[in-house]
Copies of this chain bind each other. A is one copy, B any other.
Amino acid sequence: MKNTIKVERAKKDITQAGLAEQLGVSRQTINAIEKGKFVPSTALALKMARFFECKVEDIFLLEEED
């Protein structure tokens, strides 16, 4: 599962810590997701999409192995 969080974050010019605060999670959680260490819950994915004003599908991309 790939994601475009870093790019979306750049568009909004917000830091990992800033995004974490907006979404109500820890900075490490954002970092881990962004680095692909794990995939967020659907609730968090939906909140991210809402914050970035796009669809979940725009941020999280299914791959073969998913």
Which A residues fall within an 8 A CB radius of B? 1, 39-43, 45-47, 49-50, 55-57, 60, 62, 66
In the complex this chain forms, how many copies of it are found?
A: 2
Is the pair B60, A42 in contact by a Cβ cutoff of 8 Å?
yes
Q: CA–CA, A66 to B50, complex, Å?
A: 13
| Chain B hits for A55, CB < 8 A | 55-57
Partner of A1, one of B43, B57, B62, B66: B43
Q: CA–CA, A23 to B49, complex, Å?
A: 23
Give the Cβ gap from A39 to chain B, nearest Cβ, in Å: 5
| Chain B hits for A46, CB < 8 A | 56-57, 60, 62, 66
Give 6 nearest A-B pairs by CB, closest first.
A56-B56, A42-B45, A43-B66, A39-B42, A46-B62, A42-B42
